[in-house]
Structure 1
């Protein structure tokens, strides 16, 4: 996983760390919801709470490829984890840069390729695929949380992870197409569907013991309080659900481009549903190199239940 932990990244990490069908090989960190150093501290803390200090964690890019970093502390709190007051871990991250850790893990996985799950701006992944393209041998698929076929959230047109570093997303999609890596886009069209109620969050938190169930419940409760709602999305955790249970989403292979120049649309993922055999023959931009499996529908209750069962220990 590549994360910018983040309330919903924490929810995703708990699922990936605890689900018996997954073998979490490594977690890399990038600036996004908060700065990269805080993201790394948050990630180490979540994995320790989940009892997974065996998983290597490395810090990566502190800023986007071209622009100054932005953040989402107004959504995730000053520490990126809802300012819940959980104790920090004293575990240190891996000494390698995130891109080097990814390279090493992937080159060791060529006989049993892994699924790469970025739930953050894709700066680290872009650097990986351009610097060490041979590492692609160890990737079976990329399932990323980002983008939208319809409207955005960071702006009217752009989803936050892509908006934070549009060039990185464009590089990843182009490189994956050239290297033959299948890509699934778990974007805003399905992101908000799987949700947990305030009552379900309270039941998780009541487990106590400063374990994963309590943390999961408090994270959801924070989101409910932040937005004044009776439920909150599990967000990035849905992308991990899509790895565990891909039948829970309906995807369509569609050409995708990232807008890099627009004043109002920079960071928009332009998903093209047109009939290729007709309209595209006359499109001055030609065909997009990247054809992505775009998630357009999700069985929201199925994924919410999957997350609840796993983080609740049932």
Structure 2
């Protein structure tokens, strides 16, 4: 990748493309303030080879076929892979029948590409994982020196309130809880863009219709993906709204003022049982009996997104994707 102007934020996306990961990629390559230096792939929404295929296809449709893509972990650190094809379709991309990509991935693995691009960047990199965190955990454990050139990790994952994979756990963290725990204790600033804001950023039906009618391949793909991802079980008849999902985390990097965060202690529940994979966010104003009697546990301090300006991010997303790649 060529060096970007100093005003652009160097970013790397680690994804499991995925309908909403694809929406995130389309935004990242087109926002003038972001320099997408690489994309790494991990099993999650579908198997890792499908993720690689989908990622290459999306980048080609977006006019960004020059961005390096690498294959990463095909399963979590401990548990078997568990896909979300019931949400994202058999191919992970809404079964839209997209053509196979022309090019192939990089000849290095994801961890190697992550290390290379982070250390080569002239400015500290912002990592944006929108997937299970296996690749990131392997990177941090294998090459801890990269933390010196990481500005922040903004990850889509976790939940303060309700989960989706379980009653309390969000899919990306639930898929590989140990990896999430490693990320939270990496010693770099972390922002958690969780389900509490993830589910709220919804593109209205008329805007989706306009995207789908576009002659530009990237904008049209965004519309087709949003149409596959209705924001609620009530799809509003023939004109459903669509959730931005993972793309909101990239919006939060491009425009951090669109979310409200609080620096809070967060830990991941790792024990077997119904709470495994829960991000336990401590919002208490003072220590409780557990800390008083048993002593405080070591917890990571994380900037947790608690509120989002929905209209601001919808407008930002639409304007960026429809503008095309500069």
**Which shifted more, 229-238 or 29-38?**
229-238
Shift of 1:140: 0.4
Shift of 1:53: 1.3
Equivalence map 1:105-124=2 (5 Å): 105-109=117-121, 111-124=122-135
Counterpart residue number, 1:275 = 285
Quick check: 2:231–2:241 contact (8 Å CA) kept in 1?
A: no
1:189 aligns with one of 196, 202, 210: 196
Counterpart residue number, 1:93 = 105
1:248 aligns with one of 251, 258, 266: 258
Counterpart residue number, 2:223 = 217
2:212 aligns with one of 205, 209, 213: 205
Quick check: 1:3–1:118 contact (8 Å CA) kept in 2?
A: yes
Quick check: 2:77–2:178 contact (8 Å CA) kept in 1?
A: yes
Shift of 1:90: 1.9
Q: What are the superposed Cα offsets for residues 207-265 of structure 1, whole Å, 9 maximum, x if unpaired?
A: 134x1110000001112399451212100000000001000000000000000114111
Quick check: 1:75–1:226 contact (8 Å CA) kept in 2?
A: no
Q: What are the superposed Cα offsets for residues 70-124 of structure 1, whole Å, 9 maximum, x if unpaired?
A: 0100100000100111211121000100000000111112x41010000000000
Counterpart residue number, 1:56 = 68
Counterpart residue number, 1:236 = 246
Q: What are the superposed Cα offsets for residues 149-201 of structure 1, whole Å, 9 maximum, x if unpaired?
A: 11100110100000000000001111x23xxx100000001001111122211
Shift of 1:285: 6.3
Quick check: 1:189–1:297 contact (8 Å CA) kept in 2?
A: yes
Q: What are the superposed Cα offsets for residues 19-47 of structure 1, whole Å, 9 maximum, x if unpaired?
A: 11100000000000000000000000101
2:36 aligns with one of 2, 24, 30: 24
Structure 2: how far apart are the matches of 1:281 and 1:244? 38
Q: Quick check: 1:258 aligned with 2:268? A: yes
TM-score for the superposition, normalised by structure 1: 0.95
SS of aligned partner of 2:229: helix
SS of aligned partner of 1:102: helix
Quick check: 2:158–2:192 contact (8 Å CA) kept in 1?
A: yes
TM-score for the superposition, normalised by structure 2: 0.91
Structure 2: how far apart are the matches of 1:309 and 1:283? 54
Aligned length: 308
SS of aligned partner of 2:275: coil
**Which shifted more, 221-230 or 162-171?**
221-230
SS of aligned partner of 2:35: coil
Counterpart residue number, 1:168 = 179
Runs of 5+ unmatched residues, structure 1: none
SS of aligned partner of 1:24: strand
